[in-house]
Amino acid sequence: MGSSIVQVSHLDKYFGRLHVLKDISLEVPERQVVCLIGRSGSGKSTLLRCLNFLEEPSHGSIEVDGIKVAGGEKGREHRQLVHDIRLKTGMVFQEFNLFPHMTVLDNVIEAPVIVKGMDRKAAMDLAEQNLDSVGMLFKKDEYPMRLSGGQKQRVAIARALTMEPRVMLFDEPTSALDPELIGEVLNVMKKVALEGMTMLVVTHEMGFAREVADRVIVMAEGELIEDATPEDLFKAPKDPRTKALIDRYRSGEQ
C-alpha cells in the first residue's frame, strides 16, 4: 500500500524480559480512523506510544509520512529522526497533561512558538481557531486547574492540533473522565475525524469505535488478533477473545 501514512514493520518491544509487543506490522492509509481495542495489558497503549517514540521500540521500524525510524538505536541522527516523527504526530493522553503553570492559550501556542519557531501572532491566530473548533475559546485565559476534565481534554486536543500533525494519536482519551463528560470529548474527536485527520485511537469506548472508526484492531498478549471494519467485527467476531470483549461491552450496554 503506497499511500499508507503510517507503516509499522516487525515491531518488537520488551520491558526487561517481558515481551509486550510481538512482531507487529501495520499500515494505516491517510485519513483512516483506526481504533485499537483490547484488554488492559494487551499492549495497545505501548504500540501507540512506540509510534512517537515515547517508548523506544526494541526492534523493527516505524514510518510516519515518509520519515522512517528504526527502533533500538541511539545517537544524534536517531534523535533527530525521532524529533521529526514527533512533529508529524500529535498525541492526546489519558491524563490530559496540560501545563498547569500556563493559561489555556499559552498551553496551545507553546510548542508552535518554541519548537517550530512560529511567529507568536500567527500561533495565536491558529490556536484561537483550534480552541474555537473544540469549543474552548471562551476559556483561553483560564488556567487548566479551573477546567473540568472534559474541558482539559478538549484543550489538549487543540494543543496537539495546533502543531499541525499529519497523524493524531489518542491514548485512552476518555478513561480519566467522569461519565457525563465523555460525550463532549468524543464529539470533538469525531469532528477531527470528519475533517480528514488520520487517527489512531486506543479506547474502551466501543460505541465510538463502532460509529466513527473505519477500522478496528483488536490486540491481545502483544499481538494483533483481529483487524476488520467495525460492522464485520461487531457482527461476526472471529477470535473468541474478540467475542468475549464484545459480549462484555454488550452486557454493559444494557
Which residues of this protein are in contact with other proteins, per CB under 8 A?
Answer: 52, 54, 83, 86-87, 89-91, 93, 95, 97-101, 110-111, 114-116, 143, 145, 159-160, 163
Q: What is the CA radius of gyration of the chain?
A: 18
CB 190 within 8 A of CB 157: no
Q: Report in angstroms how near the CB of residue 83 gets to other proteins at its nearest.
A: 6
For the chain, helix (H) and strand (E) counts, in that order, are 9, 10
Q: Nearest approach, Cβ of 53 to other proteins (angstroms)? A: 8
Of the pair 86, 215, the CB lying nearest other proteins is at 86
Select 150 or 237, whichever has its Cβ closest to other proteins. 150
Q: Which is nearer to other proteins, 86 or 241 (CB)?
A: 86
Q: What is the enclosing helix (H) or strand (E) of 202?
A: strand 198-202
Pairwise CA distance, residues 71 & 57, whole Å:
5
Which DSSP symbol is given to 55?
A: S
CB of 100 to other proteins, least distance (A): 5
116 vs 250, beta carbon nearer other proteins: 116
Cβ atoms of 62 and 69 closer than 8 Å: yes
How far is residue 79's CA from residue 70's CA, in Å, rounded to a whole number? 11
The secondary structure of residue 1, as a DSSP letter, is -
How far is Cα 125 from Cα 143, in angstroms, rounded to an integer?
19
Dist. CA 13–CA 164, nearest whole Å: 28
Q: Which is nearer to other proteins, 97 or 187 (CB)?
A: 97
Residue among 22 and 175 whose Cβ is closer to other proteins: 175
247: which 3 cell numbers?
459480549
At closest approach, how far in Å is the CB of 127 from other proteins?
13
Q: How far is the CB of 123 from other proteins (least distance, A)?
A: 13
Residue 61 and residue 9: Cα distance in Å, rounded? 5
What is the distance between the alpha carbons of residues 41 and 45, in angstroms, rounded to a whole number? 9
Nearest approach, Cβ of residue 167 and other proteins (Å): 12
**Is the Cβ of residue 114 or residue 194 nearer to other proteins in the bound state?**
114
In angstroms, give the least distance from the CB of 145 to other proteins: 6
